[in-house]
Amino acid sequence: MGSAAAQIPTSFGHELRACRRCRLVKTYDQFRESGCENCPFFNMDADHERVVDCTTPNFTGDSKLRIHIYISTVRG
């Protein structure tokens, strides 16, 4: 896991995406700007096409707002 604290989404609309590996939920822009803090090897912040490849807007489940938001099921 990464050493940086994951960001909390800045909005909760249709632009949310979930990391396909760890299920962290952030906005597209947040993944593009700082990547996935839990999966830095995806290098999303260095290669913006990886954001689309490594995240999905299709997810369901109860979001648990603690420090970060994670979801229970990723589809697609």
In a domain? residue 5: no
Any bridge partners for residue 41, and if so which? Answer: none
Model pLDDT, residue 13: 63
Model pLDDT, residue 60: 78
What's 55's domain CATH number? 3.30.40.210
In a domain? residue 61: yes
Model pLDDT, residue 19: 93
What pTM was estimated for this model as a whole?
0.68
The per-residue pLDDT string of the chain (76 residues; one tens digit each, 9 = 90 and over) reads 445 666 766 666 668 899 999 989 899 999 999 999 999 999 999 998 999 999 999 887 655 554 455 666 667 6
- Separation of alpha carbons 40 and 29, rounded Å: 16
- CA-to-CA separations, 71 to 25, 46, 59, 76, in angstroms, rounded: 7, 25, 7, 14
Model pLDDT, residue 14: 66
In a domain? residue 45: yes
In a domain? residue 34: yes
What is the extent of the structural domain holding 59?
Answer: 16-74
Please count the other Cβ atoms lying within 10 Å of the Cβ belonging to residue 72.
11
**Which among 2, 75, 72, 74 is positioned nearest to 37, based on CA atoms?**
2
| Domain count along the chain | 1
